[in-house]
Amino acid sequence: MTEPAAVKQTVSVRERIIVALDVENVAAARDVLEELRGEVGAFKIGLQLFTAAGAAFVREVAESGVKIFLDLKFHDIPNTVASAAVEAARLGVWMFNVHALGGAEMMRRTVDAVNEVCERENRTRPKVIAVTVLTSSNAETLTEVGIESPVENEVSRLAKLTADNRLDGVVASPHEIGLIRETVAAKDFMIVTPGIRPINATNDDQKRVMTSAEAIAAGSDYLVIGRPIVQAKDRVGAVNEILSNLGSDIQ
Ligand code: C5P
């Protein structure tokens, strides 16, 4: 195995699976939650479900004791993002994210605001992570928006900016883990990786995938997995299959 990743020592592999609740309404989300609650570590609520179901649903699920990663990728002026982050903390989510492209001040003020509200209101502080470059972006996409440097340079620059501004980690392609670990020395810097596919599974629209075992071996702390679990006929079976492929040496 590689160097210990941020949570490797203390968190079981099962708890390191985050299921993406990419469904269109509350009923479908409840269905997945009922089936998989207790089987995985956390659930990710992104733009689709948040827009359909709203903040009240996030609060209700979080208050029921389920860990929620609120994946809304905040990117706005520092004051707006910091204020939204305070409300995310008040919803009781376990983790939320911002775009590192929002810059140092946006990230710093977000972390400060979250720390302050959690202390003042005696709340558990959510983890704050950043997206570096979306995995759907390539060199051409970056050139379109005026960024001429290679994707890898952007990923390491933004990962460093994220760490320098005291965020807890990044969302990244599993292929970028090595680069990020080289750039950011802190062992507790979390890397959360989507783009995970079981061996022999369809890739859907993900272009650069890894199996969960490969991603964990490369140093991923948390695996975000959507369709391979949510669209399986037997969701618990799909989770257990992923866990059995991971083996016991990394529990
Ligand atoms: O279904 P699948 O396993 O591809 O779902 C992956 C989830 O991770 C989706 O919710 C997707 O939006 C999200 N994600 C991603 N790549 C990123 C950031 C988030 O696939 N760079």
Q: Using CA atoms, how far apart are residues 148 and 236, in angstroms rounded to an integer?
A: 44
* Percent share of the chain, pLDDT over 90: 84
Ligand 1 pocket mutation pick from 21, 22, 176 by most atoms within 8 angstroms of CB: 22
Cα 50 to averaged position of ligand 1 atoms, centre (Å): 15
pLDDT tens digits, one per residue of 168-220: 999 999 999 999 999 999 999 999 999 898 876 777 877 778 999 999 999 99
- Which residues in 137-147 are b (16+ Cβ under 10 Å) and which e? eeeeebeeeeb
Per 3-state DSSP, what percentage of the chain is helix, strand, and coil (rounded to 5)? 45, 15, 35
Average pLDDT over residues 73-97: 98
Q: Using CA atoms, how far apart are residues 131 and 162, in angstroms rounded to an integer?
A: 9
Which DSSP helix (H) or strand (E) runs through 144? helix 139-144
Q: Provide the residue ranges of all domains of the chain, joining segments of one domain with +.
A: 12-242
CA dihedral sign, ordered 213, 197, 210, 43: negative
Average pLDDT over residues 95-109: 98
pLDDT tens digits, one per residue of 135-144: 888 899 999 9
How high is the mean pLDDT of the chain?
Answer: 92
Q: By alpha-carbon position, which residue is closest to atom 13 of ligand 1?
A: 194
Q: Does 73 qualify as catalytic in the annotation?
A: yes
Helices and strands per DSSP (H, E), number in the chain = 10, 8
Q: Which position among 8, 44, 67, 73 bears the catalytic label?
A: 73
Residue found by looking up tokens 């995310």 in the block = 88
The confidence band for 7, taking pLDDT boundaries of 50, 70 and 90, is: low
Q: 188 vs 24, 100, 169, 182, CA distance in Å?
A: 34, 18, 8, 13
pLDDT tens digits, one per residue of 11-27: 788 999 999 999 999 99
Q: Using CA atoms, how far apart are residues 18 and 41, in angstroms rounded to an integer?
A: 6
> CATH 3.20.20.70: does it fit domain 12-242?
yes
Which two tokens mark 51? Answer: 């827009």
Ligand 1 pocket mutation pick from 49, 224, 235, 239 by most atoms within 8 angstroms of CB: 224
Q: Is the CB of 221 under 6 A from ligand 1?
A: no
Phi, psi of 207 (to 5 degrees): -90, -40
Residue 53 has pLDDT above 60, yes or no: yes
